[in-house]
DNA sequence: CTGAAAGCGCTTACAG
DNA sequence: CTGAAAGCGCTTACAG
C-alpha cells in the first residue's frame, strides 16, 4: 500500500515539489538541456536517483511535438530476386509500430545492378536531412562515401544484411556468412562418404556481391578441411545469372564429374534445382539459401533438401528499431547483431516466420 | 501539405466539432459505452469513418486510469529441467514492455510432478480476479476445471506450450509435436542405410507429459513409414528420470541391438548423451529437444548432433502479448500459432535467439 | 442522453 | 537561470 502510493506520486511534479523548483526546471535536467545551475541540477538528480524515477514514455511523446524521420536505403525487389521483399516487410512492420510514436520512415530503393542508382538515392537522402539512416551497404566505395556525409551531418546510420568493417555505424545487423557456410558443410557431411564429391556453386554478376558468396564458400571448405578431408570439393563460379548460362555450366561440370551433393551459395539455388529436375538428377543432395517462393517450390518437391535462411525480415525490422532505441531511448546497442542461421526443410518451412 | 494539416486536426475534438457534440460523447461512442442516442452515435460513427480516424493509443492509455492485471500459470524451473526458464523469460520481457501501458503481470508456478500445486495456484488466480490468464495446460482435467471457472467469470485465457482441443481459449501458442518428430525423421534418414536401426527414447514420469512424447514419436515413425521403410525402429519408454534408471535401460537395449541413431523425444537427451559418452558410443547419431545448457554442452562436444527447439521464450512472450492485443487493441488472433521448428547444431547455436 | 471541466505525466514557448 | 501557464489527445467523474 505504502509502496503503491509512493509509485503514484513519482513524477516530475513530485520531483519539482521536493526540489523546490518548477516542473520546467525538472524537465530541463531530465532531458539534459542547458540553463540550469549546477547546484539545482545536482539537487534534482539526487532526488531522481533516490526515487528511482522512470519517466513515462507515453506522456513524454504525447507532450513532445518533436517528430523523427528515418530513411532506409535498400535494393528494390527485382524480378531477378524477391529477397528484398522480406527486409522491406520488416521495415514496414517497424514503421507501423513507430507511427504512434511520431516517427516516420521513408524507404529508398536502388538497383543492385546499378551503382549510380545507389548514389542518386543516397544524395536525395542527404538533402532531406533525416534523423537516422538504415542501409544495405552492398557497394562498398559508394556506401563509404555516403556515410562520410552522414557522419559530417551528425546523422547516425546502421548497416543491415552486409557489413563494412571499421566504420562508425551504430551497429551491423545481418548474417555471419562464413559460419553459415560452415553449417552447410556440417549438414552435408552426414551424407558424404569417403571419396565422394561435393560441388560448390557461386552464381552472381556483381563483383561486390560475389565477395559474399566467397565468404560462405570459405566456411564450407573450412568444415571439410577440419572434419572430413576424404571428400573432394569442386567449385564453379557462374558470372551470368540467366538460366541458359547456368545450365550449360552445370552440364559441363556434371558430365565430367560424378557429384553427390551441391551447395549453392545464394538464393540462385532454384536455378540449379530446375536443372537437376530437368535432367533427372534429383538424387543429388542440394542445399542453398533463402526462403523464396521459387526455392520453397523445389523444397516441397524434394529437389532442394535444405535452405539456409537468416531472417531477412527481422534485419529490416531491427535496423529501424535500432535507430529508435538509440535516438529515443538512448539505449546503446551491441555493435554486431548476427542473425540466427535457420535451417529450412520440407517439414518445417510452413512454420518459418520471416 | 494539405494532407498534413488534415492529419493534425483529426482527433476527438475535431470529431466533436463536426458532430456538434462534446468530446465526452465522442469518447462514449469510440469506446462503445452506453448512454448515447442511436442518432448521435450514427452521426459520430459516420464522421469517424469519413475521417478514417485512428485513436492515439498513447493519449488513451495516459488518460485512462484503468489498469489491467494478467496472471501466468506455468511450471517452475526445477533442478530436473531448466526448460521453463525460457518461457518465463518471455513472460518477463512482455511484462516489461507492457508496464508503461498500465499492465501488470503476475506469475504463478506449479510443480510438474504435483497436480495439487497446479490446483492451489489456479484457485488463487481465480480469487484475485485477473483480467486475463496465460497457462500451460499440462494437466488436462485440472486445466479444464480451471478454465471453466475462468469462462464463468468472463476471464479470457490462452494456452501455451501444450494444447487442449475444443476449449474456448483465445488461442494456442506452442509447438506442433507431430511435425517436429517428422522433421527429426527427415534429418536422421540421411545417415541411415538399409537395414540399420534407429532407437526412439521416451523419458518421463508423468502420464500427462508422456502423451506429448508419444505425439513426437508418431511423427518420427510416420516419416519412416512414408519414406524409408528399410530401417528398423526400436523404442523404449523409460518411466523414471534418474540417471541410474536411464543408464540401465540403455545398457540393456544397446547391448542387445546395434543402433545407429537415437532420437530422444524431449530435453532428457542430455542423459542419453552422458551415457553414450561414458560408454564410448559417441559415433551413434543423437538428436533430441531443447536449448538447455546441459544439452548444449553435449552439442559442443559433438555427442549430440541436433537439437530441435521451438522458441520457448517466444511462447511466453506471445502468450502475454495475445492477451494485450485482444484486451487493449481488440485485435483478433489466429486460434493456433505454431512455433517454428528450429534445428540447432554445433555451428548455429551461438546465434540462436530464444 | 449529454456536456463542462479537470486531469493523465510530460514538454513547450514565453516572460522574466 | 527559473517559473507560470498552456497544451499533447484522450478519459473520467460529476452534474444536469
pLDDT given at position A176? 93
pLDDT given at position B327? 87
Q: Is the CB of A7 under 7 A from strand C?
A: no
Q: Is the CB of B38 under 7 A from strand C?
A: yes
Q: Where residue B7 falls among pLDDT bands split at 50, 70, 90?
A: very low
Angle at B70 between CA B68 and CA B75, to 5 degrees: 170
* Least confident range of A284-288, B1-5, B247-251: B1-5
pLDDT of residue A91 exceeding 80 = yes
pLDDT given at position B9? 61
- The DSSP symbol for B197 reads E
Is A56 in contact with B352 (Cβ distance < 8 A)? no
Mean pLDDT value across chain A: 90
pLDDT given at position B8? 52
| Mean pLDDT of the B59-78 span | 89
- Spell out which residues of chain A touch residue B187, defining contact as CB-CB under 8 Å: 345
pLDDT of residue B79 exceeding 80 = no
The helix (H) or strand (E) run that includes residue A107 is strand A103-110
Of chain B, the percentage scoring pLDDT greater than 70 comes to 97
pLDDT, tens digit, 9 for 90 and up, residues B81-110: 789 999 999 999 999 888 878 889 999 999
φ, ψ of residue B23 in degrees (nearest 5): -65, -25
Separation CA A321–CA A91 (nearest Å): 9
Nearest nt by C1' to A38 Cα: D1
Q: B262: which strand partners? A: B199, B286
Residue B241, C-alpha cell as written in the block: 528420470
Separation CA B341–CA B345 (nearest Å): 13
Is B190 in contact with A190 (Cβ distance < 8 A)? yes
Is A2-55 a domain of CATH 1.10.260.40? yes
Separation CA A303–CA A283 (nearest Å): 8
Q: Where residue A141 falls among pLDDT bands split at 50, 70, 90?
A: very high
pLDDT of residue B192 exceeding 50 = yes
CATH architecture of A68-175+312-340: 3-Layer(aba) Sandwich (3.40)
Cβ atoms of B195 and B175 within 8 Å: the answer is: no
Q: Which is higher by pLDDT, B101 or B214? A: B214
Sign of CA dihedral B109, B111, B117, B123: positive
Separation CA B151–CA B169 (nearest Å): 9
Neighbouring C-alpha atoms within 13 Å toward the C-beta of A92: 6
pLDDT given at position B194? 85
Nearest nt by C1' to B38 Cα: C1
Residue B216, C-alpha cell as written in the block: 513426437
Instruction: Find cell 551413434 and name the residue.
Output: B284
Residue whose Cα is closest to the C1' of D9: B59
Domains A2-55 and A68-175+312-340 share a fold: no
* Chosen from A308, A336, A343, A344 to mutate, greatest number of chain B CBs within 10 A: A343
pLDDT given at position B167? 94
| Mean pLDDT of the A180-192 span | 90
**Considering the domain B177-309 in this protein, what is its CATH number?**
3.40.50.2300
pLDDT given at position B1? 30
From first CA to last CA, the distance across chain A in angstroms is: 45
pLDDT of residue A7 exceeding 60 = no
Instruction: Give the DSSP per-residue string, A156-194.
Output: -EEEESS--TTS--S-EEE--HHHHHHHHHHHHHTT--T
Separation CA A283–CA B200 (nearest Å): 27
pLDDT given at position A4? 38
Residue–nucleotide distance: A66 CA to D3 C1' (Å): 23
Query: Nearest Cα to A150, choosing from A67, A73, A66, A65?
Result: A73
Q: Where residue A327 falls among pLDDT bands split at 50, 70, 90?
A: confident
pLDDT, tens digit, 9 for 90 and up, residues A263-279: 999 999 999 999 999 99
Residue–nucleotide distance: A158 CA to C8 C1' (Å): 36
pLDDT of residue B4 exceeding 60 = no
pLDDT of residue A94 exceeding 50 = yes
Separation CA B125–CA A212 (nearest Å): 54
Q: Spell out the domain ranges in chain B.
A: 2-55, 68-175+312-339, 177-309
Residues A254-263: b if buried by 16+ CB within 10 A, e if exposed:
beeeebbbbb
CA quadruple A251, A257, A262, A263: dihedral, nearest 10: -100
Q: Which of B186, B285, B346 sits opposite A346 (nearest CB)?
A: B186
Could you tell me if residue B154 is left (phi over 0), alpha (psi between -120 and 50 degrees) or otherwise beta?
left
| Mean pLDDT of the A272-288 span | 95
Q: Where residue B34 falls among pLDDT bands split at 50, 70, 90?
A: confident
Separation CA B179–CA B176 (nearest Å): 6
Highest mean pLDDT among A21-35, A329-343, B31-45, B117-131: B117-131
Cβ atoms of B292 and B270 within 8 Å: the answer is: yes
pLDDT of residue B211 exceeding 80 = yes
Q: Where residue A235 falls among pLDDT bands split at 50, 70, 90?
A: very high
pLDDT given at position A9? 61
pLDDT given at position A310? 93
Cβ atoms of B84 and B75 within 8 Å: the answer is: yes
- Spell out which residues of chain A touch residue B291, defining contact as CB-CB under 8 Å: none
- Spell out which residues of chain B touch residue A187, defining contact as CB-CB under 8 Å: 345
Instruction: Find cell 523464396 and name the residue.
Output: A292
Chain B nearest-CA residue for A57: B100
Of chain A, the percentage scoring pLDDT greater than 90 comes to 69
Residue–nucleotide distance: B16 CA to C6 C1' (Å): 18
Q: B172: which strand partners? A: B159, B336
Q: How far is CA A280 from CA A88, A247, A274, A275, in A?
A: 37, 13, 10, 8
φ, ψ of residue B36 in degrees (nearest 5): -130, 135
Cβ atoms of B316 and A305 within 8 Å: the answer is: no
| Mean pLDDT of the A288-292 span | 95
User: CB within 8 A of A1, min separation 6: which ones?
Assistant: none
Q: Strand B306-309 vs strand B342-344: parallel, antiparallel, or unpaired?
A: antiparallel
Q: Where residue B5 falls among pLDDT bands split at 50, 70, 90?
A: very low
**Considering the domain B68-175+312-339 in this protein, what is its CATH number?**
3.40.50.2300
Instruction: Give the DSSP per-residue string, B54-99.
Output: ---HHHHHHH----EEEEEEEEPP-SS--TTHHHHHHHHHHHHHHH
From first CA to last CA, the distance across chain B in angstroms is: 45
Which positions in strand C are less than 7 Å from the protein's CB atoms? 1-14
Q: Where residue A32 falls among pLDDT bands split at 50, 70, 90?
A: confident
pLDDT given at position A329? 78
pLDDT given at position B116? 95
Nearest nt by C1' to A37 Cα: D1
Of chain A, the percentage scoring pLDDT greater than 70 comes to 97
Cβ atoms of A158 and A173 within 8 Å: the answer is: yes
Mean pLDDT value across chain B: 90
Residue A294, C-alpha cell as written in the block: 521459387
Interface of A with B (CB under 8 A): 56-59, 61-62, 100-101, 176, 179-180, 182-183, 186-187, 190-191, 285, 338-343, 345-348, 351-353
Is B351 in contact with A345 (Cβ distance < 8 A)? no
User: CB within 8 A of B91, min separation 6: which ones?
Assistant: B72, B74, B105, B107, B134, B316, B317, B319, B320
pLDDT of residue B349 exceeding 90 = yes
Amino acid at each position: 500500500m505504502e509502496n503503491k502510493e509512493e509509485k503514484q506520486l513519482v513524477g516530475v511534479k513530485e520531483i519539482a515539489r521536493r526540489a523546490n523548483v518548477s516542473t520546467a526546471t525538472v524537465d530541463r535536467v531530465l532531458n539534459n538541456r542547458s540553463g540550469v545551475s549546477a547546484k539545482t541540477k545536482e539537487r534534482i538528480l539526487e532526488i531522481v536517483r533516490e526515487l528511482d524515477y522512470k519517466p513515462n514514455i507515453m506522456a513524454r511523446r504525447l507532450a513532445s511535438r518533436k517528430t523523427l524521420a528515418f530513411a532506409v536505403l535498400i535494393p528494390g525487389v527485382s524480378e531477378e530476386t524477391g529477397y528484398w521483399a522480406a527486409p522491406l516487410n520488416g521495415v514496414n512492420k517497424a514503421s507501423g509500430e513507430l507511427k504512434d510514436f511520431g516517427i516516420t520512415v521513408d524507404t529508398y530503393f536502388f538497383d543492385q545492378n546499378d551503382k549510380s542508382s545507389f548514389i542518386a538515392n543516397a544524395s536525395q537522402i542527404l538533402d532531406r536531412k533525416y534523423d537516422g539512416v538504415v542501409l544495405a551497404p552492398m557497394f562498398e566505395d559508394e556506401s563509404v562515401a555516403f556515410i562520410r556525409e552522414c557522419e559530417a551531418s551528425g546523422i547516425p546510420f546502421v548497416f543491415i544484411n552486409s557489413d563494412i568493417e571499421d566504420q562508425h555505424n551504430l551497429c551491423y545487423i545481418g548474417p555471419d556468412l562464413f559460419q553459415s557456410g560452415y553449417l552447410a558443410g556440417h549438414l552435408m557431411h552426414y551424407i558424404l562418404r569417403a571419396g565422394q564429391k561435393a560441388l560448390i556453386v557461386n552464381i552472381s554478376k556483381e563483383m561486390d556481391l560475389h565477395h559474399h558468396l566467397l565468404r560462405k564458400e570459405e566456411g564450407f571448405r573450412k568444415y571439410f578441411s577440419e572434419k572430413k578431408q576424404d571428400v573432394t570439393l569442386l567449385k564453379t563460379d557462374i558470372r551470368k545469372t540467366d538460366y541458359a548460362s547456368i545450365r550449360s555450366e552445370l552440364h559441363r561440370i556434371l558430365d565430367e564429374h560424378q557429384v553427390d551433393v551441391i551447395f549453392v551459395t545464394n538464393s540462385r539455388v532454384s536455378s540449379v534445382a530446375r536443372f537437376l529436375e530437368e535432367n533427372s538428377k534429383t538424387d543429388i543432395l542440394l542445399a542453398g539459401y533463402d526462403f523464396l517462393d521459387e526455392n520453397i517450390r523445389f523444397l516441397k518437391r524434394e529437389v532442394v533438401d535444405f535452405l539456409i535462411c537468416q531472417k531477412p525480415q527481422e534485419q529490416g525490422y531491427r535496423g529501424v528499431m535500432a535507430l529508435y532505441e538509440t535516438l529515443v531511448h538512448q539505449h546503446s546497442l551491441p555493435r554486431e547483431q548476427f542473425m540466427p542461421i535457420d535451417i529450412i526443410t520440407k517439414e518445417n518451412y510452413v512454420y518459418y516466420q520471416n
